[in-house]
Amino acid sequence: MAQRQGGLVSEILDGEPYEYYPLGDYVVRAVGVCGGRPTFKYTRIEITGTLERLAAGESIDEIVAGYRGRVPREAILEAVRLVTDQFVRTLPALEPAA
């Protein structure tokens, strides 16, 4: 069972503590995993590698197959949404030309 404390979720996974900050349903920043870079929950698969594979032309179905069921299609779509939303939020405001 997960316990939430100030955004941090603590669970026991295979008898070991697993602590993470959820960024979505599938994407997390886990304490002590991959330097805190975003990964898919319960894996050490960083979302950046998945996004790079998409950018290189690999299909979502090919990526899912390559991860052998550890990362579902919905998780990859969530990663794309999270990165896109963050990108759009960080764009500077446009000023009209004088």
For residue 52, the model assigns a pLDDT of: 97
Whether the CB-CB separation of 47 and 58 falls below 8 Å is answered with: no
CATH class for the region spanning 3-90 = mainly alpha
The pairs formed by 12-21 with CB atoms below 8 angstroms and a separation of 24 or more are 13/42, 18/42
Annotated domain spans of the chain: 3-90
* pLDDT tens profile 17-32: 999 999 999 999 999 9
Q: What is the pTM of this model?
A: 0.85
